[in-house]
């Protein structure tokens, strides 16, 4: 079994990579979710699967573990979708 990530910087990079893959393979859903202001509902299953993968690789003792994954969602999926027309912005 692989060692769990215990470094917050490495954990954040892992979270960003996971969210980046989710966004890449679901570009149409991301665009629709941003346009309709339903990104979290529309991507619920994919984000839950990504979060589960992240948790399986990162030490449960790490403080702010939840925050790191949520920040990655905003940094990678939401901010990069800023060019999409939406009532959100």
Nearest to 29 by CA among 18, 40, 16: 40
The stretches of 1-89 forming alpha helices (DSSP H) are 8-25, 27-35, 39-42, 44-57, 65-72
Q: Confidence band (pLDDT; 50, 70, 90) for 78?
A: confident
pLDDT > 70 fraction of the chain, expressed in percent and rounded? 91
Average pLDDT, the chain: 91
Q: Is the pLDDT of residue 87 over 90?
A: no
Across the strands, what pairs with 58? 5
Q: Cβ neighbours of residue 6 under 8 Å, at least 6 residues apart?
A: 58, 59, 61, 62
Max avg pLDDT among 37-41, 46-50, 64-68, 72-76? 46-50
Q: Enumerate the domain spans of the chain.
A: 8-81
Res. 79 pLDDT band, cuts 50 70 90: confident
């Amino acid at each position: 079994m692989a060692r769990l990530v215990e470094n917050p910087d490495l954990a954040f990079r892992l979270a960003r990579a996971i969210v980046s893959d989710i966004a890449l393979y679901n570009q149409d859903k991301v665009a629709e979710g941003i346009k309709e202001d339903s990104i979290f509902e529309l991507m619920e299953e994919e984000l839950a699967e990504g979060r589960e993968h992240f948790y399986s690789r990162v030490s449960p003792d790490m403080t702010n573990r939840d925050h790191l994954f949520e920040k990655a969602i905003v940094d990678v999926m939401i901010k990069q979708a800023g060019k999409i027309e939406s009532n959100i912005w």
